[in-house]
Amino acid sequence: MAKQPQPISPFKNFFAGGFGGVCLVFVGHPLDTIKVRLQTQPKPQPGQAPLYSGTFDCFRKTLVGEGVRGLYRGMAAPIIGVTPMFAVCFFGFGLGKRLQQRKPDDVLTYPQLFAAGMLSGVFTTVIMAPGERIKCLLQIQAATGETKYSGSLDCAKQLYREAGIRGVYKGTVLTLMRDVPASGMYFMTYEWLKNILTPEGKSVSDLSVPRILFAGGLAGIFNWAVAIPPDVLKSRFQTAPAGKYPNGFRDVLRELVREEGVASLYKGFTAVMIRAFPANAACFLGFEVAMKFLNWIAPGL
C-alpha cells in the first residue's frame, strides 16, 4: 500500500471538501434531475405509456420542454447546502482517520478507511436530508406542471409551516441508510485506487490529474452501486403526500416491490451511473487542488 500523506488535517479536509462539492454539483446536477424524475414518475395506467421511457427520453423531454434551465431545476438547494455538506463530509472522513491513528505516521488499513468513510456519512445527514427533500420536490414539480414552490427558500418555508421541522427533515433515516455504507465505500475505494495508481517510490500526493479523475470517477460509481436502492426509497418517500407511508420506508419498499418488482429499486440506474463518474471525478479533483493550495498557504494547519 502506498504511504498516505501525513499528517491528516480534518480542518483542511473541511475547506477542500467544500470546494470539491461545488465542483460535483455543477457537473452532476443535470443527470441528478433526470434520476429523480425517473425514480418518482407515477406508474402508468393499463394501456398507457410511462411518462418517460428511459434516461435519454427523460433528458430529451426535459430539454425540449424546459430548456437547459430545466436540467438545473432545484440546484439552489444543493449549491447552498453542498459547500457545508461536503466540507463536513470530508471533515468527518479526516476525523475518522485521525481517531484511528495511534501516532501521526500510522497508515490505515482499508477496513479502517471504510469506517472513517461511514463516519462522514453520519456527519453529512444533518445537512443532506433537508437539502435532498427540497431538491427532489422542486425537481418533480417542473415535471408535473404544478407551481407550488417558487424556489428553494419558499419550499423550505412551506414545509416548515405545514409540518414543522419534521416536514423539512422527512426522509432522514433513509438518508442515513443510503449515505453511511455508501460513504464508506466511496472513500475506501478512492484511497485504494490512489494507492494502486501511485507509481513505485512516489507519493499519492503526486498523482497526475488524469489518475485523480479516474480514481474519483470510479469511486463515485462504487458509491452509487451501494446507494441506489435506498436512494430510490428516499426519493419516493420524500416526495410523497403527507401520510401516504405511515410506516416509513417499509411501506415504500412493500409498495414498490409489490407493484413494480425488485428491479424498481434500481430506477434511474443509467442516469446515476452516467452522472457518477464525471461528477465525482470533478469532486475529488477539486478537493485535491484545494488541498494542495491549503498546504501551500497554511502548511502547519
Stretch among 94-108, 132-146, 162-176 having the lowest mean pLDDT: 132-146
Q: What is the pLDDT, as a whole number, of residue 143?
A: 65
pLDDT (tens digit per residue) in 62-95: 888 888 888 887 777 677 767 788 899 999 999 9
What is the Rg, in whole angstroms, of the alpha carbon atoms belonging to the chain?
20
CA pair distance 36, 204, nearest whole angstrom: 36
Which distant-in-sequence residues (6+ apart) come within 8 Å of 144 by Cβ? none
Give burial (CB, 10 Å; 0-12/13-18/19+) of 141: middle
> Three-state DSSP class for 24?
helix
When pLDDT is averaged across residues 214-237 and rounded to a whole number, the result is: 94
Residue ranges and CATH numbers for the domains of the chain are 10-42+50-297 (1.50.40.10)
Contact 252, 236 (CB under 8 A): yes
Q: Higher confidence at residue 242 or residue 162? A: 162
Task: Give the phi and the psi of residue 170 in degrees, each rounded to 5.
Answer: -60, 130
Q: Is the pLDDT of residue 194 over 90?
A: yes
Q: What is the mean pLDDT of the chain?
A: 88
* pTM of the entire predicted model: 0.80
Q: CA 162, CA 241: separation in Å to the nearest integer?
A: 12
Reported as a pLDDT band with limits 50, 70 and 90, residue 2 is very low
Cell digits for 42? Answer: 407515477
| pLDDT tens-digit readout, 8-45 | 788 899 999 999 998 998 888 888 888 888 878 877 88
CB of 124 closer than 8 Å to CB of 179:
yes
Question: Which is higher by pLDDT, 3 or 68?
Answer: 68
